[in-house]
């Protein structure tokens, strides 16, 4: 059984960035900026902070997130 990620973010693009910034945590205290690609599953998880990005209107939108497996494939570290 999967455990729901600590935070989910609904997005409108399949390519998203994550730097660990959350409520109360500025980016400087987060993690290196990574770019994530949402695939046909409709979501992707950050390998650093476990935040889940869900494509709005995609197959994972509106689904019980605890029933989905972690997907962190497609992550790349930012070079800028």
Domains in the chain with CATH codes: 8-77 (2.60.260.40)
Cα 61-34-65 angle, rounded to 5 deg: 25
| Sign of the CA dihedral running 6, 48, 32, 34 | negative
DSSP SS3 for 16: strand
* Cα gap 29→27, rounded to integer Å: 5
Going by pLDDT thresholds of 50, 70 and 90, the confidence category of residue 53 is very high
Sheet containing 8-11: order of strands: 8-11, 52-55, 43-45
Instruction: Name the pairing type of β-strands 8-11 and 52-55.
Output: parallel
Question: For residue 57, what pLDDT band results from cuts at 50, 70 and 90?
Answer: very high
pLDDT, average across residues 64-77: 71
Average pLDDT, the chain: 83
Name the band, by pLDDT with cuts 50, 70 and 90, for residue 21. Answer: confident
């Amino acid at each position: 059984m999967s455990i729901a990620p600590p935070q989910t973010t609904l997005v409108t693009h399949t390519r998203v960035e994550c730097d660990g910034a959350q409520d109360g945590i500025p980016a400087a205290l987060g993690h290196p900026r990574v770019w994530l690609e949402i695939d046909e599953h409709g979501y992707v998880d950050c390998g650093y902070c476990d935040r889940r990005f869900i494509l709005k209107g995609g197959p994972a939108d509106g689904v019980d997130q605890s029933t989905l497996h972690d997907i962190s494939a497609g992550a790349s570290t930012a070079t800028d």
